[in-house]
């Protein structure tokens, strides 16, 4: 079985802070990490590899610095790593991104494509399903469990707000997975050492078939009109009081607001 896993390098958004004076993002010193849902996807691929044998190829699109997460994937157990990196892709929205990555997938042999549900920098959850459509594959998103059945089909659990759907998928497909369902394994020491001797293949746009008009900024139907820091609300009154006073204060406030 050949499995492609889509991974992305993202800033750790939980570490991003707002400059209290200027109200702007402080990006300095914010570490770059492998997107958590994607790491869950890689873990799922490696579990399938452990059980049934598989070749796991990780792919990513991004600047050359994304090399780091490709090596992390090697250290976890990936067999091949391809980084799609070209200025032609700069400014891509989700549709142009999914188009380019689909072009890369078409050059590879695969039985299954796994992506993370969403990346923590954009939170869109769009690239996976958009890729599935470009490639004509069925999709299951929000995957929290996946097993290979004897007939070669996949049995997949999809988590919804109020239920879990158990789905059987016939043939090739694309899954987007939840990090919370697939606790990633640790990198092994030998894996880390070896990861730096392996080759991360860096591909330019010339390696894939594409329509120039569908790449990068010009191939992106959505444009950023403006971005701005979140408006700050006026701070509330802060009372430093004892427990008894706090109770009285809260009860009075609730009465004032006709809540009690």
Partner 1 sequence: MELKDYKNVFVFAADTLGEKVVAMLLGCGIKDQAQKLIEFGADEVIVADCPELKDYLSEQYTQVVDQIIKERCPNIVLYGATTIGRDMAPRIASRLKTGLTADCTKLEVVSDEKSNGEPQFRMTRPAFGGNLMATIICPNTRPQMSTVRPGVMQKRQRQEGRQGVVTVFAPKFDTSKFKVKLVETIKEDKAMVDIADAKILVSGGRGVHNKEGFDKLQALADVLGGQVSSSRAMVDNGVMPHERQVGQTGKTVRPNLYMACGISGAIQHLAGMEESDFIIAINKDKFAPIFSVACATALYGRFFLE
Site residues (CB under 8 A) for partner 1, limited to 77-96: 93-95
Q: Does 130 bind partner 1 (CB under 8 A)?
A: yes
**11 versus 91: smaller Cβ distance to partner 1:** 11
39, 58 in Cβ contact below 8 A? Answer: no
What is the nearest approach in angstroms of partner 1 to the Cβ of residue 237? 5
Least Cα distance to 82 among 59, 112, 56, 55 occurs for 59
- Please tell me whether residue 185 adopts helix, strand or coil conformation: coil
What is the nearest approach in angstroms of partner 1 to the Cβ of residue 93? 7
Return the DSSP state at 30: P
Residues 176-215 close enough to bind partner 1 by CB under 8 A: 180
Q: Which of 100, 120, 181, 215 binds partner 1 (CB under 8 A)?
A: 120
Chain centre distance of CA 25: 21
Q: How many residues appear in the chain?
A: 260
18, 25 in Cβ contact below 8 A? Answer: yes
**193 versus 260: smaller Cβ distance to partner 1:** 260
**57 versus 139: smaller Cβ distance to partner 1:** 139
Q: Which of 64, 65, 106, 166 binds partner 1 (CB under 8 A)?
A: 166
Residues 14-33 close enough to bind partner 1 by CB under 8 A: 14, 16, 18, 25
Measured CA to CA, the distance from residue 59 to residue 115 in angstroms comes to: 10
Q: Does 159 bind partner 1 (CB under 8 A)?
A: yes
Q: Which of 63, 193, 250, 255 binds partner 1 (CB under 8 A)?
A: 250
Measured CA to CA, the distance from residue 217 to residue 46 in angstroms comes to: 34
What is the nearest approach in angstroms of partner 1 to the Cβ of residue 170? 5
Chain centre distance of CA 194: 25
Least Cα distance to 174 among 124, 119, 132 occurs for 132
Q: Which of 28, 29, 160, 183 binds partner 1 (CB under 8 A)?
A: 160
Residues in contact with partner 1, counted by CB under 8 A, come to a total of: 78
Q: Which of 1, 11, 185, 207 binds partner 1 (CB under 8 A)?
A: 11
Return the DSSP state at 50: H
């Amino acid at each position: 079985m050949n499995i492609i896993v889509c991974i992305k390098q993202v800033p750790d958004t939980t570490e991003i802070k707002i400059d209290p004076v200027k109200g702007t993002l402080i990006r300095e010193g914010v570490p770059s990490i492998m997107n958590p849902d994607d790491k869950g996807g890689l873990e799922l691929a490696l579990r399938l590899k452990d059980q049934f044998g598989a070749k796991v190829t990780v792919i990513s699109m991004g600047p050359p610095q994304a090399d780091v997460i490709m090596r992390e994937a090697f250290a976890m157990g990936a067999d091949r790593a391809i980084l799609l990196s070209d200025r032609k892709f700069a400014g891509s929205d989700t549709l142009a991104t999914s188009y380019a990555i689909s072009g890369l997938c078409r050059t590879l042999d695969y039985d299954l494509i796994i992506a993370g549900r969403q990346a923590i920098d954009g939170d869109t959850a769009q690239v996976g399903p958009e890729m599935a459509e470009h490639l004509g594959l069925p999709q299951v998103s929000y995957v929290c469990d996946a097993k290979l059945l004897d007939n070669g089909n996949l049995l997949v659990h999809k988590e919804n707000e109020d239920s879990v759907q158990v789905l059987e998928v016939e043939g090739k497909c694309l899954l987007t997975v939840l990090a919370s369902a697939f606790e990633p394994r640790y990198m092994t020491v030998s894996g880390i050492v070896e990861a730096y001797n392996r080759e991360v293949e860096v591909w330019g746009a010339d390696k894939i078939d594409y329509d120039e008009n569908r790449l990068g900024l010009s191939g992106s139907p959505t444009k950023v009109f403006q971005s701005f820091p979140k408006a700050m609300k006026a701070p509330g009154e802060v009372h430093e009081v004892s427990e008894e006073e706090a109770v009285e204060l809260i009860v009075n406030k609730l009465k004032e607001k006709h809540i009690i």
